[in-house]
Structure 1
């Protein structure tokens, strides 16, 4: 279901710093703009409350997940809160195995082909290419030439509506969007404006792919 959600719209909203009282309104705006995967990093205020509120609020075709998941215990907490996706900055096998055992979708962070192959062998659904700022589209294309067919790479870090095309041309299938989409304290209206700009760029650049 994660790959299917990303096929419809390959943009993942990363809401680092989101507060629970902001979650429903911002979730509504993101869903209306076309986002179908929303991530609340665990270093946000009361992240499990926000995850629960988003899961209650949004339709079933929108996956809710947690980012910056570092331990197997946090995997359990995310699932108990209603989260369905585990996103990690690294690829710790203990966390990967806990997420798979809990039947959750899994997106570990990788920065080398060795890490990518290891994460896939542990059952990763998609790979978070992090930090994307240090990866050129040429590097991404080279990775995809050797990784198993169908591997989904999601660059995270420094992605803007203007630089999406060069990564898409290299073969990526989506992006994780952080501070370019949401920063703590932003209004739902501001997030909506940025979300629409990203979705418009996504549609423009993927219509011919």
Structure 2
């Protein structure tokens, strides 16, 4: 995935909430082996900046590594210093979005309403995280798609798993954030690889 503002398709994002620096390279490498090209380390994980740095060093040449649960401009600055190329947030904070855009990072602000989505777009975002996705639903996403600029992609996060990923893909999602259905703290790299293959196969078969 490119980090330019013209990017319209991200694909699947692996969310490694709770990952530790000691296990992040093995798990991240397993995800890359399964075809994932974007990995997010939420900042409420243990030692997240160290994990981001280790992951970016190990797989950053073949995979976009980024930070999640980014809430402040300081978080953006520290994430960039660690090697992040994307900035994922649960909310639409215009200062966080602006800081990311100014640093040529790709922001993924969270929105639960069209108003929040348009606020994020106005601040420079071109990828919107539908969060929580199960509250918006595929019908809601289609309604948003009809009014948002065509170059803005929508990615459901929260409640997306193997049972509904195909539905989101068929509805036109530009990607999806996958959390506990893919990784839970303590899961081995082998377990994550198997889940990743399953989810990637679903996405590849149903994404437009």
Question: After TM superposition, is the score higher than 0.5?
Answer: yes
Match of 1:118 in 2: 119
List structure 1 runs of 4+ shifted beyond 6 angstroms.
3-6
Find the counterpart in structure 1 of residue 199 from structure 2. 198
Distance, in Å, in 2 between the alignment partners of 1:163 and 1:205 is 11
Partner of 2:51 in structure 1? 50
Does residue 1:150 correspond to 2:151, yes or no?
yes
Runs of at least 5 residues in structure 2 that lack an aligned partner in the other structure: none
Query: Partner residue of 1:141?
Result: 142
Please give the secondary structure, in 1, of the residue aligned with 2:180.
coil
Work out the number of aligned pairs and report it.
206
Alignment-derived partner of residue 27 in structure 1 = 28
Report the TM-score when normalising by structure 1.
0.94
Unaligned 5+ segments in structure 1 are: none
- Deviation of 1:156 after TM superposition, in Å, equals 0.2
Structure 1 equivalent of residue 160 of structure 2: 159
Q: Distance in 1 between matches of 2:202 and 2:101?
A: 33
Residue matched to 2:68: 67
Instruction: Check conservation: 1:2, 1:125, Cα contact below 8 A.
Output: no
Please say which of residues 90-99 and 165-174 is displaced more in the overlay: 165-174
Contact 2:70–2:89 (Cα < 8 Å) also in 1? yes
Structure 2 distance, partners of 1:5, 1:188, is 30
Contact 1:11 1:176 in 2 (8 A): yes
Deviation at 1:169, TM superposition (A): 2.2
Quick check: 2:12–2:38 contact (8 Å CA) kept in 1?
Answer: yes
CA contact (8 A) 1:5 1:37 kept: no
Distance 1:37 1:5 in 2: 14
Question: How far apart, in 2, do the equivalents of 1:103 and 1:203 lie?
Answer: 28
8 Å contact from structure 1 (residues 72, 95) kept in 2: yes
